[in-house]
Structures are given as structure tokens and as C-alpha cells.
């Protein structure tokens, strides 16, 4: 049995992740601009990509499982390293290694980009919270009188009759 279907699935995953990286980079620009409508559209597109990735990933898992069963390989060792050790065809071995290396690089870039987006989002939320705190009055600023001053005034306003009684 050929490993080509697994390589094809990995190539599809690579294309989807590269597209997702592009969306993530666009999301960074939209976050910088503060365009909520464009951000919502990007999030919808991102959600569709994630669903497609999950579907292709499930297919890949099934393909790897069936390939390892047909090759009588331990099901616990379903990783690229184990596959590379048992593949005889040099071209398939090279293709599998190349696509997994590229996919890993794209995943690292995607993770970094999403961390940047998360930081931008947190900073935006902090700015909004700060702005709301500056606009919204606090309870202390609503009270115009000083409680300490009013109690001192009350003691000085006592009459002689109140103090002797």
C-alpha cells in the first residue's frame, strides 16, 4: 500500500494552514485599524478554515491508521518518524519528510502570529476598559462632600447646652 494518500492529505493540510496564516496576518492589520466589521468577516472565514482543517486531519488520521495496520506496524507509533523508518520508496520518503517539515514551519509561524493577535486584542480591551473607567464616574466622585469635614463641622456646631447635657 502506498503512502501517497497520506502525503496528499498533509499537502492539503499545508495549503489550509498557509491560508489560515494569511488570514491571521490580515487579522493583525484589522486589529491595528480597529475595524470590527472586517474582523467579524475574517473570523467567519477563519472558522470555515478550521472546520476544513479538522475534516482533512480526521481523514489523515484514518489513512495513517489503515496504512499502519496494512504494514503491521504498532498502532502506538503513529508518527512521522516511525513512518519514515518503515517507508521503502525513497521518493515517497522524501516527499513525506518535505511536506511535514514545511507544515511544521507554517504551524510555528501561525502560532506566533496568533500570539501577536492575542496581545493586540488584550491591549485593545485594556484601552477600552481604561476609557470606560475614565468616562464613567465613580461613587466617590459623585459624593461632593467630605465625610471627615462634615463630622468636624458637626462637633463645632454644637451648642453649649448639647455639650453639658
pLDDT of residue 148: 57
pTM metric for this prediction: 0.74
Total count of residues recorded for the chain:
165
Task: Centre a 10 Å sphere on the Cβ of residue 67 and count the other Cβ atoms it contains.
Answer: 19
Cα separation, 146 vs 151, in Å, equals 9
In contact, 23 and 73? CB cutoff 8 Å: no
* Per-residue pLDDT at 158: 55
**Mean pLDDT by groups of 10 residues along the chain of 165 residues:** 89 96 94 89 95 96 88 76 83 92 96 94 85 70 55 53 52
Looking at residue 71, what is its pLDDT? 80
C-alpha radius of gyration, the chain, whole number: 32
For the chain, count helices (H), then strands (E). Answer: 7, 0
Give the Å distances, CA to CA, from 144 to 39, 60, 103, 128, 150: 43, 68, 63, 27, 11
Rounded CA-CA distance 14/20 in Å is: 10
Protein fold of 4-137: Methane Monooxygenase Hydroxylase; Chain G, domain 1 (1.20.58)
Q: What is the pLDDT of residue 34?
A: 84
User: Which H or E element spans position 71?
Assistant: none
Q: Shortest CA distance to 46 belongs to which of 19, 74, 12?
A: 19
Amino acid at each position: 500500500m502506498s503512502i501517497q494518500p497520506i502525503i496528499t492529505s498533509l499537502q492539503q493540510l499545508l495549503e489550509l494552514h498557509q491560508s489560515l496564516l494569511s488570514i491571521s496576518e490580515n487579522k493583525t492589520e484589522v486589529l491595528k485599524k480597529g475595524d470590527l466589521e472586517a474582523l467579524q468577516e475574517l473570523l467567519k472565514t477563519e472558522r470555515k478554515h478550521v472546520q476544513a482543517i479538522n475534516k482533512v486531519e480526521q481523514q489523515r488520521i484514518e489513512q495513517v491508521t489503515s496504512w499502519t495496520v496494512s504494514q503491521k506496524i504498532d498502532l502506538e507509533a503513529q508518527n512521522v518518524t516511525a513512518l519514515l523508518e518503515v517507508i521503502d520508496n525513497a521518493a515517497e520518503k522524501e516527499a513525506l519528510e518535505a511536506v511535514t517539515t514545511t507544515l511544521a514551519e507554517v504551524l510555528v509561524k501561525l502560532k506566533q502570529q496568533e500570539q501577536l493577535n492575542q496581545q493586540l486584542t488584550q491591549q485593545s480591551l485594556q484601552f477600552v476598559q481604561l476609557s470606560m473607567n475614565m468616562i464613567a464616574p465613580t461613587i466617590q466622585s459623585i459624593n461632593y462632600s467630605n465625610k471627615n469635614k462634615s463630622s468636624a463641622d458637626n462637633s463645632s456646631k454644637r451648642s453649649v447646652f448639647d455639650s453639658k447635657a
